[in-house]
Amino acid sequence: MVLKLEHSHQLIIDNVSRFIDLTELEKQKYISLLTEVKVKKKAFLMQAGEIARYEYFITKGCLKVYTLNEDGVPHISMFAVEDYWTGDMASFMTKEPSRYFIKATEDSELLGISRANYELLFQEIPKFERFYRILYQKSLISYIRRSNQGISLTAEERYIEFKTKYPNIVHRITQKDLAGYIGITPEFMSKIISKVNRM
Q: Go through the chain and tell me how many residues it has.
A: 199
Residues near its own copies (CB under 8 A) are 67, 69, 73, 75, 77, 89-90, 93, 122, 126, 129-130, 132-133, 136-137, 139-141, 143-148, 150-152, 182-183
Residue 40 has φ and ψ, to the nearest 5°, of: -75, 155
* Binders in 18-47 for DNA, by CB under 7 A: 41-42
Residue in 90, 97, 191, 196 binding DNA, rule: CB under 7 A: 191
* Binders in 89-108 for DNA, by CB under 7 A: none
> What's the closest the beta carbon of residue 153 comes to its own copies, in angstroms?
9
Q: Where are the alpha helices (DSSP H) in 49-185?
A: 89-94, 115-124, 127-152, 155-165, 167-170, 175-182
Residue with Cβ nearer its own copies (183 or 186) = 183
Helix (H, G, I), strand (E, B) or coil at 125: coil
Question: Rounded to whole angstroms, how far apart are CA atoms 161 and 158?
Answer: 5
Chain residues that interact with DNA, rule: CB under 7 A: 41-42, 154-156, 174-176, 183-188, 190-191, 193-194
